[in-house]
């Protein structure tokens, strides 16, 4: 069990009759970067605060390095927390801010100074020791907050939307920095964000949350390519949801007749579907490829004619809205030399393995 | 050219109502008082104009005035320290309570201001007087046969001043406490500080501006009062403002009263200025605002 840094078992949090977090069961392995992803109010921050001890736990158990921490007060949990607004102590210098946690860890003065110096080197701000936080830029404050959290060599690093207060360019840069530092230190990290880009780019494991529940836990590729629920498919990326009825099931290929229009799709699925069952087909916008004429590709392929109605130019890609078989589909394709225009007649191609079938309730079949 | 003159004149034009009001209500009366302090009260009771230094000579030569000035500063200081210690606790409570009716608590704090300060001060007579509540209780309990003389001493003056000034201290400390980001305490806790440790290292230092502003207000208001020592103090508890009151209202010696007023104004003005320099004036105005 020593390779699990944080273990949540049936953790719940309620405020009066309001369930903020329900049935959280999650292992955060040593050295891994786990992201809690979801819209505001989904319980991700509450979960982080329960791990930190800033919120009490209503039910279940949280263990850090195999030790139950439910009843252990915050200051005895040995954590590093970076808050959304950094929460640097405004009345202390950068060096004093970073050294704050060391005072409680019986570290000698010279030793502490050395540790502070090293932490500031790790965040690449070695020359700012004597500044006050108000004299620093947002990005610098962010790095100091990180230095303050890692200098105490915490059992787990908790990051509460640490990038959301930065502007876009800096955010991308800090994303890489944060990941580099986490790798270097090999410290188990729980990262809370509502930004799917951050979650997909940085995480070893993504926990998608909604309404206080875990919707899906998996690698970034898993949650993006194989969404386990309607919510996940909708929250991450751009998806088309097509309601239909299963016609035939053959050798892992499911044929679905869409309820609306006259489309029939063949989708590869490991789920046990029965003919006649009502289902939802989820198609990622970038999985549909547009062509000017039908082209035979290898493998089972769906090909449907359509008409472009809207072009949303995005530089590298374009987002098209295409009328096809009585549906209005979102398609994201790279822009080639002669991009499609409004009114163009196109062929839509979808590989059987590039779509996901969910059952009537919007969940995967197992 | 005329447009340039216009742009130069505009700020003054816009400021003129404020400047006019200040000049009329503050500057002009102050000038009168300064001029008055050089007049002289004659034996007939009429004031003679002119430039006489007699009032000032009396103040500088008579130790009586100096002693009372020091006594006033001492009482005001003691009151301020007690207000700071006693006031911090309710301010901290109101700032950190999870009660929904925080506004109600603040309103309760303002409630005493709806009653005249004099009535509030007089109420202590009903509590501490010879036939007051405390003596009645002590006698009923058999702890004393004769009613005790609890009133008309230095302690009751300080008690009355604390009663009067505490809300000012609480409000100022409250404002600075509410301004502290709650995440700072959380951050200190996660780094290993106990609740009390986080208070000492984070909350207390960050609330010092409010404490300083409240202290200045308590000191200035406390040092300038004459009602409290008049009602709750004995003959030896007169404060400097009582001398001014006496000179102007009782002895009808306006010139001397004017001179003493200026002394108090200069002393308190110096305290405010020096304090502002030490603490940072903008910090203070932040807490006042």
pLDDT 10s digits, A237-268: 999 999 999 999 988 899 999 998 888 899 99
Check CB contact under 8 Å for B190 and A103.
no
pLDDT at res. B170: 96
Residues 7-66 (A) with a CB less than 8 A from some CB of B: 52-54
User: Residue-wise over A75-100: b if at least 16 C-beta within 10 A, else e?
Assistant: bebbbbbbbbbbbbbebbbbbbbbbb
Q: What is the mean pLDDT of residues B267-281?
A: 85
- Alpha-carbon gap: B210 to the closest alpha carbon of chain A (Å): 15
Compute the average pLDDT of residues A37-65.
Answer: 96
Half-sphere exposure of A357 (CA within 13 A, CB side): 29
What percentage of residues in chain B have a pLDDT greater than 70? 96
Chain A residues near residue B186 by CB distance under 8 angstroms: 52, 54, 74, 81, 83, 87
> Among all residues of chain A, which has the CA nearest to that of B203?
A89
B89, two tokens: 């606790």
| pLDDT reported for residue B289 | 41
Most confident of A84-93, B36-45, B274-283: A84-93
Question: What does DSSP say about strands A289-291 and A189-193: parallel, antiparallel, or unpaired?
Answer: unpaired
Chain A partners within 8 Å of B197 (Cβ)? 75, 104
**CB pair distance less than 8 Å for A91 and B205:** yes
- pLDDT, greater one: A66 or B8: A66
Q: Mean pLDDT, to the nearest integer, of B127-149?
A: 90
Query: Are the C-beta atoms of A333 and A290 separated by less than 8 Å?
Result: yes
CA distance A99 to chain B (A): 10
Model confidence at A74, in pLDDT bands (50, 70, 90)?
A: very high
pLDDT score of A294 more than 80: no
Q: Which residue has the tokens 């690698």?
A: A219
Per-residue pLDDT at A1: 45
* CATH, range B61-288: 1.10.3720.10
Phi, psi of B92 (to 5 degrees): -65, -40
Which residue does chain B place closest to A75, by CA atoms? B192
Closest-approach residue (CA) in chain A for B189: A75
Asked if pLDDT for residue A285 goes beyond 90, the answer is: yes
Mean pLDDT of A32-43: 95
Q: Give dist(CA A256, CA A276) in Å, integer.
A: 9
pLDDT score for B151: 92
- Asked if A228 contacts A297 with a C-beta cutoff of 8 angstroms, the reply is no
In chain B, positions 188-227, which contact chain A (CB-CB < 8 Å)?
188-194, 197, 201-202, 205-206
User: Helix (H, G, I), strand (E, B), or coil: what is residue B268?
Assistant: helix
Give the count of alpha carbons within 13 A of B265, CB side only. 12
Residue with the larger pLDDT of the pair A313 and B91: B91
Give the Cβ contact number of residue A213 at 10 Å.
16
Say whether residue B27 is in contact with chain A using an 8 A CB cutoff: no
With CA atoms as reference, report the closest residue to A193 among A222, A220, A221, A230: A220
Length of chain A: 366
Q: Contact B192/A90, CB-based, under 8 Å?
A: no
Cα–Cα distance measured from residue A359 to residue A351, given in angstroms and rounded to the nearest whole number = 20
The model's confidence at residue A348, banded by pLDDT at 50, 70 and 90, is: very high
Reported confidence tier of residue B41, pLDDT bands at 50, 70, 90: confident
Angstrom distance (rounded) from CA B213 to CA B173: 8
CB-count exposure of residue B277 (10 Å: 0-12, 13-18, 19+): exposed
Domains of chain A from N-terminus onward: 4-233 (3.40.50.300), 238-359 (2.40.50.140)
Average pLDDT (A207-226) is 95
pTM: 0.84
The whole-number pLDDT of residue B284 equals 53
From chain B, pick out residues whose CB is under 8 angstroms from the CB of A53. 189-190
Say if residue B283's pLDDT is above 60.
no
Average pLDDT over residues A26-36: 96
A298 vs A288, which has greater pLDDT? A288
Q: Which residue of A has its CA nearest to B207?
A: A91
Q: Within a 13 Å sphere around the CA of B248, how many CA atoms are in the beta-carbon half?
A: 15
Paired with A357 in beta bridges are A281
pLDDT at residue A297 in the model:
59
Those residues with Cβ within 8 angstroms of residue B157's Cβ, 6 or more apart along the chain or in another chain:
B75, B228, B229, B232, B233, B237, B239
β-bridge pairing A59-64 and A4-15: antiparallel
Query: Does the pLDDT value for residue B115 go beyond 80?
Result: yes
Best residue of A64, A73, A75, A158 to probe chain B, by most B CBs closer than 10 Å = A75
- Crossing angle of helices B281-288 and B254-279, in 10° steps, is 110
Question: How far is A11 from A14, CA to CA, in rounded Å?
Answer: 10
Residue with tokens 């719940």: A12
pLDDT band (50, 70, 90) for residue A27 = very high
Lowest mean pLDDT among A47-56, A291-300, B133-142: A291-300
Count Cβ–Cβ pairs < 8 Å, chain A vs chain B.
63
Does the pLDDT value for residue A366 go beyond 80? Answer: no
Q: Are A117 and A104 in contact (CB under 8 A)?
A: no
What is residue B215's predicted lDDT score, i.e. its pLDDT? Answer: 95
pLDDT at B278: 83
Cβ burial, residue A265 (10 Å; 0-12/13-18/19+): buried
Tell me the chain A residues in contact with residue B193 when contact means C-beta distances shorter than 8 Å.
75, 100, 104
Please say whether the beta carbons of B161 and B79 come within 8 A: yes
Residue of B189, B187, B185, B202 lying closest to A76 (CA atoms): B189
Q: What's residue B91's pLDDT?
A: 96
Mean residue pLDDT of chain B comes to 91
Using a CB–CB cutoff of 8 Å, tell me whether A85 touches chain B. yes
Note the pLDDT tens digit of each residue in A99-141.
Answer: 999 999 989 999 999 999 999 999 999 899 999 999 999 889 9
CB contact under 8 A, B181 and A100: no
């Amino acid at each position: 069990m020593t390779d699990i840094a944080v273990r949540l078992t049936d953790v719940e949090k309620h405020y009066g009759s309001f369930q903020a977090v329900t049935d959280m069961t999650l292992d955060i392995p040593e050295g891994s970067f786990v992201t809690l992803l979801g819209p505001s109010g989904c319980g991700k921050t509450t979960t982080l605060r329960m791990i930190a001890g800033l919120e009490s736990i209503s039910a279940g158990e949280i263990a850090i390095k195999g030790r139950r921490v439910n009843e252990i007060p915050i200051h005895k949990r040995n954590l590093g927390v970076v808050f959304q607004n950094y929460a640097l102590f405004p009345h202390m210098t950068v060096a004093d801010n970073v050294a704050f946690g060391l005072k409680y860890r019986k570290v000698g003065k010279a030793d502490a100074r050395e540790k502070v110096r090293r932490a500031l080197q790790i965040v690449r701000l070695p020359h700012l020791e004597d500044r006050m936080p108000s004299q620093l830029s947002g990005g610098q404050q962010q790095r100091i907050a990180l230095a303050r959290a890692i200098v105490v060599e915490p059992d787990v690093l908790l990051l509460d939307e640490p990038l959301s207060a930065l502007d876009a360019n800096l955010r991308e840069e800090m994303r890489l920095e944060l990941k580099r530092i986490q790798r270097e230190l090999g410290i188990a990290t729980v990262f809370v964000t509502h930004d799917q880009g951050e979650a997909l780019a940085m995480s070893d494991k993504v926990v998608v949350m909604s309404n206080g529940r875990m919707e899906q836990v998996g690698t970034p590729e898993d949650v993006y390519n194989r969404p386990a629920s309607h919510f996940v498919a909708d929250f991450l990326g751009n998806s088309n949801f097509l309601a239909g009825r299963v016609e035939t099931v053959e050798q892992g290929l499911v044929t679905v007749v869409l309820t609306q229009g006259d489309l029939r799709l063949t989708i590869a699925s490991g789920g046990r579907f029965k003919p006649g069952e009502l289902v939802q087909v989820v198609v990622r916008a970038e999985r549909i490829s547009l062509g000017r004429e039908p082209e035979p590709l290898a493998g089972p392929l769906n090909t449907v004619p359509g008409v472009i109605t809207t072009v949303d130019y995005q530089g590298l890609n374009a987002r098209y809205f295409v009328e096809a078989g009585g549906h209005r589909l979102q398609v994201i394709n790279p822009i080639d030399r002669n991009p499609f225009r409004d009114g163009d007649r196109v062929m839509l191609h979808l590989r059987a393995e590039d779509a996901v079938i969910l059952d009537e309730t919007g969940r995967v079949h197992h | 050219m005329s447009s340039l003159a216009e742009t130069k004149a505009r700020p003054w034009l816009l400021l003129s109502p404020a400047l006019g009001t200040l000049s009329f209500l503050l500057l002009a009366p102050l000038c009168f008082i300064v001029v008055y302090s050089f007049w002289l009260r004659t034996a007939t009771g009429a004031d003679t104009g002119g430039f006489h230094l007699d009032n000032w000579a009396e103040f500088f030569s008579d130790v009586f005035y100096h002693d009372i000035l020091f006594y006033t500063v001492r009482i005001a200081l003691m009151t301020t320290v007690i207000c700071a210690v006693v006031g911090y606790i309710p301010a901290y409570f109101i700032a950190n309570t999870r009660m929904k009716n925080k506004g109600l608590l603040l309103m309760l704090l303002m409630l005493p201001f709806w009653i005249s300060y004099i009535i509030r001060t007089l109420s202590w007579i009903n509590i501490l007087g010879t036939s007051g509540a405390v003596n009645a209780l002590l006698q009923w309990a058999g702890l004393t046969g004769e009613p005790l003389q609890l009133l008309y001493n230095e302690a009751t003056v300080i008690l009355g001043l604390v009663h009067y000034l505490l809300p000012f201290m609480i409000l100022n400390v409250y404002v600075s406490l509410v301004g502290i980001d709650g995440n700072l305490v959380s951050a200190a806790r996660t780094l290993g500080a106990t609740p009390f440790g986080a208070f000492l290292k984070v909350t207390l230092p960050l609330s010092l501006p409010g404490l300083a502003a409240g202290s200045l207000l308590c000191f200035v208001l406390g040092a300038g009062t004459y009602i409290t020592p008049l009602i709750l103090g004995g003959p030896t508890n007169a404060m400097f403002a009582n001398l001014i009151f006496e000179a102007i209202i009782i002895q009808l010696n306006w010139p001397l009263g004017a001179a003493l007023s200026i002394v108090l104004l200069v002393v308190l003005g110096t305290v405010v200025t020096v304090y502002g320099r030490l603490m940072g004036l903008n910090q203070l105005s932040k807490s006042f605002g």
